[in-house]
Structure 1
């Protein structure tokens, strides 16, 4: 087994464990994420120590900063951001970006299916309007006073760890088939 294949296999094991935990308990354990980041560090040191800052730190930064805005907007939990940071530590910056965008596609499909299945599309549209209207109005030149988001209940929560695992699986196994 090549070193890259071992790295990909370990990454898939970590994201699979996180996805199972997220499905079962709606929580991604910090212990898994920290163990994954430490494992990625060891693997990156072993595979190419001269690329460590770019591969390990750059990958973590890519995963973190692409998911952080969704956390700030309350569209995702902190565990999902930490998991994507770990994925970036394994994969490096460019694959982490591809995994993020693939994950967004899987997450979007999962969200639409869940909203339709639960029949909560009206609440979803209400929440989207509340988020988007101030941006649209300001872009059109309508002055608006800052307003806090209403305390409407979310239309549901989604085990986004599953979307991250699927995105990782698709991108990392692309070279093998």
Structure 2
């Protein structure tokens, strides 16, 4: 529930301010890491592994200007609440959702240079992953 709340806050700031603030990202990641630490050493290791893998996967995408730094940090914060497998599912689903949004923009909008607010696909993918829609 905490994950969905902090992702929803990031969506609002991304949509209305065109920025994902560290005010949403850092406390979210701290909460995820703290929750994992309270659950035991294995959960903490899994949490930190998910964060590290997320960074390793998304850094090249960021360097190629595929996503912004705030999006990478948002994914890392989300990963702090998820298992490694759920994190991978979330990343794949988010890029799929972003592709669908991009396709709809290309088909139905005149403004072809519109950017995607990537916090929206991250939230949708987290809901799908946590809800068991995506495995």
Q: Does TM-score exceed 0.5, indicating one fold?
A: yes
SS of the counterpart of 2:81?
helix
Offset of residue 120 of structure 1: 5.2
Whether the 8 Å contact between 2:33 and 2:48 is mirrored in structure 1 is no
SS of the counterpart of 2:66?
coil
Whether the 8 Å contact between 1:23 and 1:159 is mirrored in structure 2 is yes
Instruction: Work out whether 1:12 is the aligned partner of 2:17.
Output: no
Residue deviations 1:29-70, cap 9 Å, x none? Answer: 1121100111011100112233312x2211101222222222
| Aligned equivalents of 2:14, 2:81: Cα separation in 1 | 20
Whether the 8 Å contact between 2:55 and 2:72 is mirrored in structure 1 is yes
| Aligned equivalents of 2:114, 2:103: Cα separation in 1 | 11
SS of the counterpart of 1:91?
coil
* Equivalences, count: 133
Aligned to 1:71: 62
CA RMSD in angstroms comes to 1.6
Give the unaligned 5+ runs of structure 1. Answer: 1-8, 122-154
Aligned to 2:131: 173
Aligned to 1:26: 18
User: Which of 26, 29, 39 is 1:37 aligned to?
Assistant: 29
Aligned to 1:145: none
Instruction: Work out whether 1:85 is the aligned partner of 2:98.
Output: no
Equivalent runs, 1:65-144 vs 2, <5 Å: 65-119=56-110
TM-score, with normalisation over the residues of structure 1?
A: 0.70
| Aligned equivalents of 1:37, 1:73: Cα separation in 2 | 25
Runs (4+) of structure 1 exceeding 3 A deviation are none
TM-score, with normalisation over the residues of structure 2?
A: 0.90
Instruction: Work out whether 1:159 is the aligned partner of 2:117.
Output: yes
Residue deviations 1:147-166, cap 9 Å, x none? Answer: xxxxxxxx221101000000
